[in-house]
Amino acid sequence: MDKRDSYQAMLDAVQAFHDKHDFRNTGGEEMTYRVALMAEELGEISACVTKGKDKDKLAEEVADLFILLIGTAIAADFDLKEAFWTKMERLMKRESRMVDGRIRVSEFRDM
């Protein structure tokens, strides 16, 4: 397996990026700032979809968001891989419904 295929390699690369720019000591790991950056990336992803950008541009913007997510796990000191698998186990137990013509998987609460 190529080392680049592992989550640990991605985590190490993002950690190296944080270290290179001293994010911990220069505000780059502050949560409100990180949330704002993630919202900005979601806007760029949205623009790719709504403006019909090619898949390479979409992939770049999604990668930016993924890097921010990994960096947020670093900054907040939690294990994103563990959180992912814990959440997937919960998601796999959920039911789905059609809502406005689209599939929705949620914890539906009937009123």
Query: Using one digit for the tens of pLDDT, what is the confidence trace for 5-33?
Result: 899 999 999 999 999 999 999 999 999 99
In this prediction the pTM is: 0.88
Rounding to the nearest 10 degrees, give the CA dihedral for residues 66, 34, 104, 95: 80
Positive or negative torsion for Cα 60, 62, 65, 66: negative
pLDDT at 1: 64
**pLDDT digits 0-9 by tens, 49-72:** 999 999 999 999 999 999 999 999
% of residues, the chain, pLDDT over 70: 97
Per-position b or e across 3-24, b if 16+ CB within 10 A of its CB: eeeeeeebbeebeeebeeeebe
CATH number given to 3-81: 1.10.287
